[in-house]
Structure 1
Amino acid sequence: MDVTRDSSPRPVSRPAGPPDLPAGGSGEAGAAGSTAATGRAQPVRAASGGLAAPPTGKTPPAPADDPDGPPTCRLTPVRPEVDAAGPASRRPPRVDQALRERHALAAPGWLALFVLLLGTAGLLVVLVRAGVVPEFEALPDIRSEAVRRGGPTGLTPAEIAAVAAIGLLMVTVLAGLLSNPGGEARVLTRWGRYRGTVRRAGLLWVNPFVRRRRVDVRLRHWRSDQVTVTDRTGTPIVVRLLVVWRIRDTARAVLSVADHETYLREQIHAVLSRTASRLPCDSNAGPGPALRDGQWFSDELSRSLAAEAHAAGLEVYSVQPVALEYAPEVAESMRRRRLADLDAGLRTVLVDDAVEAAALAVRRLERATAHQLDEAARSALMEQLLVAFVAPAGVTAPVPAPAVRAARKEGTARKEGRPA
């Protein structure tokens, strides 16, 4: 008998497919308990609500992220046959990886000024030697021999070529001078192709044969006008927003969209409409969150708008609602409804407090007198105490006497054909 071979029965292999989740839900605790119980890693829930594909021996290649942008959350691909949550939510625009801001070649401005000074000096020397410009007595005589002997003055072909070359050089240097103030950048393009961005402030020299577009890269804020949207209940509301943003990638802001400011405004309106429709404006004394509660509305607007504007090279810091009101056509009715809800809540609180106080007073009276009241006497005493407690608070309600209530009860029982 070969004792080196394992003769124990092999476990039956399970068919491929997503294993069942534990009955405790799809949270981390349930996933951890299932892993501990079965000894195998269980699939996790994907962002769209379905089960993620089980791990295989090969790791799928991860998508390339934008190093300049926010980190991308890598999720395991969701299989369509197990995705029971419906279609996936819309994704923000995809970033163009080929279009990215880079530094353009720019020389210091003092070098260009030095070249201009040398060109001016050389041009004067050529003109003085040819006798076109009179000589200054304080300067040494640099005129040619023919000019000194009183011959004809004029430029020779060689001197004309030198003057033309010096003039062309000076024009080229002057055309490349660039004065860039702080807080601004220049996007350089040549024949429609991106050539770099100049962010350095001061006097610079760049290629004179490129097109320069001025871009404001300072921190900016924009206060929107009144935007009318609808909340989850379909009620129209008016919102005003304050958006703090700046241009992060000048190449994408200039070349990926026609106008980045118009793009940002339209995205603000779209994000506001989508976010406001998820919750009601007010809870109206009912359970559940509302748009006015806490910082959820502002945080969700900031997160959604930052994702939409990232593809255009814009960085959004915060989106804050500075005004959140009902539309004029429903403002008065909603105000009356809010007051009615507050009044009803106040009445409920007052009545509950009065009932508790009346019951406590009856118990103390029975304890003090050492006499147990019957049901009719206790009900009559509590009714009188309730009237005494509630009437000064403005909550008036007719309370029938015990004899009247007993007669009504007996008449109702006779009509229904049952004993009183």
Structure 2
Amino acid sequence: MLITKDSPIYVLGIIIAVALFPGFVLVNPNSSKVLLLFGKYVGTIKENGFYWVLPFYTKKSISLRASNFDSERLKVNDKLGNPIMISTILVWRVTDTFMAAFEVDDYKNFVRVQTDAAVRKLASMYPYDNFADEGHTEDITLRSSVNEVSVALEKEVQERLSMAGIEVLEARIGYLAYAQEIANAMLKRQQATAIVAARHKIVEGAVSMVEMAIDQLGKKNIVDLDDERKAAMVSNLMVVLCSDKDASPVVNAGTLNH
């Protein structure tokens, strides 16, 4: 039987093909299709391949791939109230397609907003750095405790994103610095703290060296020093050892009293 374009069977075949065509679904690797039937959730296709479902199904694509999110630099206050600039790098992926599609309005925007909120909370929990001169000796700081802060940030973000069916693979601070208005002052403070610490070590070492020198001179009977001469010797040695410039030697051509 010859079927022509004017044949009712041909027309019926075209109508059936057009009706069935919307039911074909192509799912790429690490992708998924969420299926709805008249507003009711039916299921999710996660296996990659070519499928056919009822044409009445509404299909929504959700990626299952790992995604990177680099947040904007936020200006927040740390635990001590110092304004700092901070940003985070987040690696995440969708694990529950139903929650990602229906528990939140836009899961990608949800990730961005909740990550910013988590970073703000984290910054308020820890100081930027330790300041021993003011009695602030926190064990965990944003600058030095990278691993501890990353664990705390990952936990905080995961708690916020779990309701959207999202798994946090990694969360860490991408940028950290003092805000511009206090950056110069804090830099000078850090330099001053470093100088004081270095001077402390120098003085501590110089005292040990002077003590050793006097002790060795006394044990070997090289010279007999009274208290006044010991004081003069200590003064001269401390000046030489603690000075930040090279000392100029002076040769005494007379006696010890001149």
How far does residue 388 in structure 1 lie from its aligned partner after superposition? Answer: 2.1
Q: Which residue of 1 aligns with 2:137?
A: 287
Tell me what 1:244 maps to.
91
Relative to the length of structure 1, the TM-score reads: 0.54
Match of 1:343 in 2: 195
Task: Write the distance in 1 (CA, Å) between the matches of 2:96 and 2:26.
Answer: 21
Counterpart-to-counterpart distance in 2, 1:182 and 1:298: 30
**Residue 334 (structure 1) aligned to one of 183, 186, 190:** 186
Structure 2 counterpart of 1:313: 165
Which residue pairs with 1:223 in the alignment?
A: 70
The residue number in structure 2 matching 1:277 is: 124
Letter in 2 for 1:333: A
**Offset of residue 372 of structure 1:** 6.7
Q: Assess if the C-alpha contact under 8 Å between 2:64 and 2:94 holds in 1.
A: yes
Residue 176 of structure 2 is matched in structure 1 by: 324
The unaligned stretches of length 5 or more in structure 1 are 1-124, 134-154, 397-420
Q: Match for residue 263 of structure 1?
A: 110
CA contact (8 A) 1:347 1:395 kept: no
1:360 to 208, 212, 216: 212
Which structure has greater helix proportion? 2
Per-residue displacement from partner, 1:168-214 (whole Å, max 9, x unpaired)?
Answer: 43233212111222222111112322111111222210111121111
Unpaired runs of 5+ residues, structure 2, are 248-258
Note the C-alpha offset of 1:321: 1.2
Task: Give the distance between the partners of 2:126 and 2:72, measured in 1 at CA.
Answer: 22
Partner of 1:181: 28
Highest RCO, 1 vs 2 (Cα 8 Å, sep ≥ 6): 2
CA deviations 1:79-135 (Å, max 9, x no partner) are xxxxxxxxxxxxxxxxxxxxxxxxxxxxxxxxxxxxxxxxxxxxxx5745xxx76xx
SS at match of 1:282: coil
Which letter does structure 2 place at the counterpart of 1:338?
A: Q
Total equivalences in the alignment: 242
1:207-261: CA deviations, max 9, x gaps? 1112111111111111112122211111111112111111111110010000111
Question: Which is richer in strand?
Answer: 2
Question: Structure 2: how far apart are the matches of 1:339 and 1:207?
Answer: 70
Instruction: Report the equivalent of 1:35.
Output: none
Q: In the alignment, which residue of structure 1 is the partner of 2:155?
A: 303
For normalisation by structure 2, the TM-score amounts to 0.85
Structure 2 distance, partners of 1:388, 1:332, is 33
* CA–CA separation in structure 1 for the residues paired with 2:64 and 2:89: 18
Amino acid across the alignment from 2:36:
T
Contact 2:87 2:119 in 1 (8 A): no
The structure 2 residue matched to 1:234, chosen from 47, 68, 81, is 81
1:165 deviation in Å? 5.2
Work out which of the two has the higher radius of gyration on C-alpha atoms and give 1 or 2: 1
**Rounded Cα–Cα distance in structure 2 between residues aligned with 1:265 and 1:395:** 58
Change in CA separation of 1:395 and 1:313 when aligned onto 2, cut-off 3 Å = farther
Deviations 1:344-390, CA, capped at 9 Å, x for gaps: 11111111111111111111111121777544443332112111222
Which of 192, 200, 212 pairs up with 2:39?
Answer: 192
Identify the residue that residue 41 of structure 1 maps to in structure 2.
none
Identity of paired residues, percent? Answer: 26
